[in-house]
């Protein structure tokens, strides 16, 4: 009889945590018992799983006794406090925060791209940044076929990447605008409704934001190639769900748009949505609730010999967070690592 697992979800009441629970159910992950964990503020509330109401517990070190897999959905504070503690108590930890991503002893994994890195895990595996995940899924077949010298990416990221408070703020601002009321901003430094913010996370001394540097560093680590030149500009847009990216890539050898389209059509986790004549291209409204990374606007860059332009869209709460974490656990089961 196939094994089943006691699975803890840390941050179970947040946007990503709720999506993790939904993904576990939808993919029929072999859960013998779900243990939802959160801060003291959310403890005592309930989540639903397989038709049952389960009380959310406050996270503590003892929460991980007897847990097989711990999915950390929330911010870095819980991960810092309990990540390695959960490992010490016998759990395999898959962490969605940025806390451990660049640690040398922690694999940073997208299952369609670098599943082999799971084999050297020490009990804790990092889930990459949402915008990085969808980009490397689209770039992996191109990298394998032609090599990549340089990536320039501009992202257009949904407010759900910030969390429930940002979703609520965009909703309220939109309603206030429609009613002729003044819009107020609390989550972001400026209103997000009817606006775009060219800042995600804090600015670094080099002028890039932390979010942009995540894309630079994580892309190199996932692809295992520190020689790739990467530059990113990350922008928050008034969209609820689904990140979009304009990706320009310079390859080592020439790939035509047709060759790239063929490679992407056969790539795991990718759906090509690309018929400009019929105005068919990926959009966030198409990607919301979907598992696949959608790629369109595939064309050759007319400014450089070995250049390609892609438009890449995915649901940031699913492939960008919850789904990728569950897929890591599934791949570990497949490889006999869990």
What is the pairing mode between strands 69-72 and 92-95? Answer: parallel
What is the pairing mode between strands 148-157 and 243-251? Answer: antiparallel
Strand partners, 300: 308
Q: DSSP string spanning 30-47?
A: -EEEEEEEE-TTTTT-EE
- 243 assigned to active site: yes
Task: Give burial (CB, 10 Å; 0-12/13-18/19+) of 88.
Answer: exposed
Coil, strand or helix at 148: strand
Q: Minimal CA–CA distance to 134: which of 213, 209, 219, 197?
A: 219
Q: Minimal CA–CA distance to 168: which of 49, 14, 322, 11?
A: 14
Task: For residue 8, give both structure tokens.
Answer: 């803890």
Catalytic residues: 130, 243
């Amino acid at each position: 009889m196939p094994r089943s697992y006691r699975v803890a979800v840390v941050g179970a009441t947040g946007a990503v945590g709720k999506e993790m629970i939904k993904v576990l159910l939808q993919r029929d992950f072999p859960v013998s018992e779900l243990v939802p964990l959160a801060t003291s503020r959310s403890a005592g509330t309930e989540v639903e799983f397989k038709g049952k109401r389960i009380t959310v517990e406050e996270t503590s070190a003892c929460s991980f006794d007897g847990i097989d897999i711990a999915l950390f959905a929330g911010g870095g504070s819980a991960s810092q406090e309990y990540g390695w503690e959960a490992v010490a108590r016998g759990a395999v930890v898959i962490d969605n925060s940025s806390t451990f991503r660049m640690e040398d002893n922690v694999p940073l994994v997208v299952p369609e791209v670098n599943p082999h890195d799971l084999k050297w895990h020490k009990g804790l595996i990092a889930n990459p940044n949402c915008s990085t995940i969808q980009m490397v899924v689209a770039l992996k077949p191109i990298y394998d076929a032609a090599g990549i010298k340089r990536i320039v990416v501009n992202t257009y990221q949904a407010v759900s990447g910030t969390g429930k408070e940002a979703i609520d703020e965009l909703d309220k601002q939109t309603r206030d605008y429609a009613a002729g009321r003044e819009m107020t901003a609390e989550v972001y430094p400026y209103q997000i409704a009817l606006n775009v913010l060219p800042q995600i996370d804090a600015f670094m001394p080099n002028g890039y934001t932390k979010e942009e540097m995540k894309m630079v560093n994580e892309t190199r680590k996932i692809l295992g190639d520190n020689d790739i030149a990467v530059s990113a500009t990350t922008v928050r847009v008034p969209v609820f769900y689904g990140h979009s990216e304009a990706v320009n890539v310079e390859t080592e050898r020439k790939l035509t748009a047709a060759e790239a389209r063929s490679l992407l059509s056969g790539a795991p986790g990718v759906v090509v949505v690309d018929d400009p004549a019929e105005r068919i291209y990926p959009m966030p409204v198409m990607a919301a609730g979907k598992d696949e990374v959608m790629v369109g606007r595939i064309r050759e860059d007319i400014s450089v010999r070995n250049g390609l332009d892609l438009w890449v869209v995915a649901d940031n709460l699913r492939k960008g967070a919850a789904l990728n974490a569950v897929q890591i656990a599934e791949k570990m089961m497949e490889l006999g690592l869990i």
